[in-house]
Amino acid sequence: PHAGDAEALREHALAALLTARRRTALLTDSVDDHELTAQHSPLMSPLVWDLAHIGNQEELWLLRGVAGREAMRPEIDGLYDAFEHPRATRPTLPLLAPDEARSYASEVRGRALDVLESAPLGDGPALVRAGFAFGMIAQHEQQHDETMLITHQLRTGPAALTAPEPPRAADDALALPAEVLVPGGPFTMGTSAEPWALDNERPAHRRDVPGFVIDTAPVTCGAYRAFIEDGGYDEQRWWAPEGWAMVREHELRAPLFWHRDAGQWLRRRFGVTEPVPDDEPVVHVSWYEADAYARWAGRRLPTEAEWEKAARHDPVSGRSRRYPWGDEDPTPERANLGQRHLRPAPAGAYPAGRAPCGAGQLIGDVWEWTASDFLPYPGFTPFPYREYSEVFFGPEHKVLRGGSFAVDAVACRGTFRNWDLPVRRQIFSGFRTARDL
Ligand code: AVJ
Ligand code: FE
């Protein structure tokens, strides 16, 4: 969107930064100071930590790193270094108080906007490099906005956030096939062209993917309930050994936030208890639960390469698209992104977002667990620093694809790779299944 044009980049970056800050403000102004500083779960930081961390990373990467400015508050850097302090210990740190955190983040932002307005951004590769710094800041803030929404979901008490309902399933939803075919052959995975792609999405490379079949939509709560009611959580044979150990240790019976009341499955969602909707993609399942469901269903999770081929490969042109529907940016008609709705849309929604293979809702709604470990692509170069991706590569993290209703479009595309531990279930994670031909 901004190759070679400094003015277009300034406009695009400004819009992305403003969108992110509006969302951050909503997430941090919708609860009182007590709730901002409280730890709602040992899995999460207090919201006030995310707020100041957003400002601190912007100061480090943009103001100091790119613009060469002096440190504003060097003494706080350590507090907001995610590697120095695990989440569970963050409430015990001498963190900035809510008002201090707000004014620090907004002062950093003011200076960042000065840099954006007045810095000579150059052209060609220099412009792409300068633009990336702003893109990375906007994506980082939006990723923490998703993290903060997870904290909102974990907090107890009455609802603090509301949003309109997502669209209903398309008229043809009931007529859709349950699964679609992706014929075998090579495709281009990853990208070297997307200006704001992160290091782990690069470079573009050819991958040969044998033919496979993949679910048209993410697995729904209704389908997942059938697994539960068939005794899925009681039968060791469906589970990977570590998954079975997790089920036993924590006595898991259902996705996180579900409970059974008088024979009915209910769930708690952003402060409201409601019946589990059968037609909606299941969310808040761990990789182990996704893997067990797939085995029970006689299927398997798709590999990351299969997922990306289903989402991006255009068999007519032979090239890979930026998104399932084409190269144009996401819109509200194409995908459920950006916290516009606080839940996934029913399976079969977003007909305008479907891929050439016929699969839908690959982008938005729920992050989709894949079978794959988080590993570098051939030719990977860490950028701008090793801690962004490289230190997480290895078999302990599984890849999630496609983005959820909680992440903004700036941090979601056909090549975007998320990762987490296979036990995680507080994230907005679901899955779809696949099988060999
Ligand atoms: C890519 C979502 C796994 O939240 O740990 C935020 C993104 N990196 N700050 C995370 C991230 C640094 C990251 N995930
Ligand atoms: Fe961060």
d(CA 51, CA 28): 8
Residue 300 annotated as lining a ligand binding site:
no
H or E element in which residue 186 lies? strand 185-189
Nearest-atom number in ligand 1 for the CA of 392 is 3
CA 148 → CA 145, 249, 274, 391, 426, distances in Å?
5, 28, 22, 23, 12
Would the pLDDT of 235 be above 80? yes
Mean pLDDT score across all residues of the chain = 96
CA distances from 77 to 28, 46, 49, 95 (A): 21, 17, 12, 11
16 is in an annotated binding site: no
For residue 148, the ligand closest to its alpha carbon is 1
Query: What tokens were used for 417?
Result: 């790779």
Residue 130, Cβ density class (10 Å: 0-12 exposed, 13-18 middle, ≥19 buried)? buried
- Please name which ligand lies nearest the alpha carbon of 404: 1
Choose one of 80, 143, 424 to mutate for the ligand 1 pocket test, by most ligand atoms within 8 angstroms of C-beta.
143
- The answer to whether 140 is a known ligand-binding residue is yes
> Is 295 annotated as a binding-site member?
no
pLDDT band at 390 (very low <50, low <70, confident <90, very high): very high
321 known member of a binding site: no
Angle at which helices 124-154 and 6-29 cross, to 10°: 10
Token representation of residue 14: 């400004």
What pLDDT is recorded for position 335?
Answer: 98
CA-420 nearest atom, ligand 1: 3
Q: Which helix (H) or strand (E) holds 82?
A: none
Ligand index nearest the alpha carbon of residue 43: 1
Residue 119 confidence class, pLDDT cut points 50, 70, 90: confident
Q: What is the SS3 assignment for 373?
A: strand
Average of per-residue pLDDT across 190-212: 97
- Measured in Å, residue 2 CA sits from the centre of ligand 1 at 25
Task: Return contacts of 317-323, CB within 8 angstroms, 24+ apart.
Answer: 319/188, 320/187, 320/188, 320/189, 320/204, 320/414, 321/414, 322/194, 322/413, 322/414, 322/415, 323/353, 323/363, 323/413, 323/414
30-39, 125-134, 388-397, 409-418: range with lowest mean pLDDT = 125-134
Contact of 333 with 352, CB cutoff 8 Å:
yes
Any known ligand binding at 88? yes
DSSP 198: -
248 CA → ligand 2 middle, Å: 33
Cα 192 to ligand 1 centroid, rounded to whole Å? 21
- At 108, the pLDDT band (50, 70, 90 cuts) reads very high
Could you tell me if 47 and 151 are in contact, meaning their C-beta atoms sit under 8 angstroms apart?
yes
Average of pLDDT values for 208-236?
98
List the residue whose alpha carbon is closest to atom 10 of ligand 1: 143
Question: What's the length of the chain?
Answer: 437
Share of the chain above pLDDT 70, in %: 99
Region 80-104: mean pLDDT is: 94
- Residue 170 predicted with pLDDT over 80: yes
**In sequence order, what are the residues at sequence separation of 6 or more whose Cβ sits closer than 8 angstroms to the Cβ of residue 150?**
44, 406, 426, 427, 428
Q: Which of 50, 53, 147 to mutate to test the pocket of ligand 1 (most atoms within 8 A of CB)?
A: 147
Query: What does the pLDDT read at residue 3?
Result: 52
- For residues 402-411, give the mean pLDDT: 98
As a whole number, mean pLDDT of residues 388-415 equals 97
Q: Is 372 helix (H, G, I), strand (E, B) or coil?
A: strand
Helices (H), 1-97: 6-29, 33-37, 47-58
d(C-alpha 189, C-alpha 6), whole Å:
29
Annotated binding-site residue? 259: no
DSSP reduced 3-state for 325: coil
Per-residue pLDDT band at 2 (split at 50, 70, 90): low
What lies within 8 Å, CB to CB, of 263 at 6+ separation is none
How many angstroms does the Cα of residue 82 sit away from the middle of ligand 2?
A: 7
Of the candidates 255, 241, 221, 333, the one whose C-alpha atom is nearest the C-alpha of residue 295 is 241
Confirm whether residue 89 is marked as ligand binding.
Answer: yes
Which pLDDT value is given to residue 385? 80
Ligand 1 nearest-atom number relative to CA 419 = 3
**Is residue 1 scored above 70 in pLDDT?**
no
Q: Which amino acid is at 62?
A: L
The pairing of strands 367-374 and 429-430 is: parallel
Residue 141 Cα to ligand 2 middle (Å): 8
**Cα of 177 from ligand 2 centre, angstroms:** 40
Classify residue 281 by its DSSP letter: B
Compute the average pLDDT of residues 95-112. 98
Pairing of strands 434-436, 429-430: unpaired
Question: Which residues lie with the beta carbon below 6 Å from any ligand 1 atom?
Answer: 140, 143, 147, 418-419
d(CA 42, CA 46): 9
pLDDT, tens only, 253-310: 999 999 999 999 999 999 999 999 999 999 999 999 999 999 999 999 999 999 999 9
CA of 220 to the centre of ligand 2 (A): 31
- Select the more confidently predicted residue: 3 or 137: 137
Integer CA distances (angstroms), 193 to 311, 322, 383, 403, in order: 17, 10, 15, 20
Mean pLDDT across the stretch 178-184? Answer: 98
Q: How far is the CA of 243 from the centre of ligand 1 (A)?
A: 24
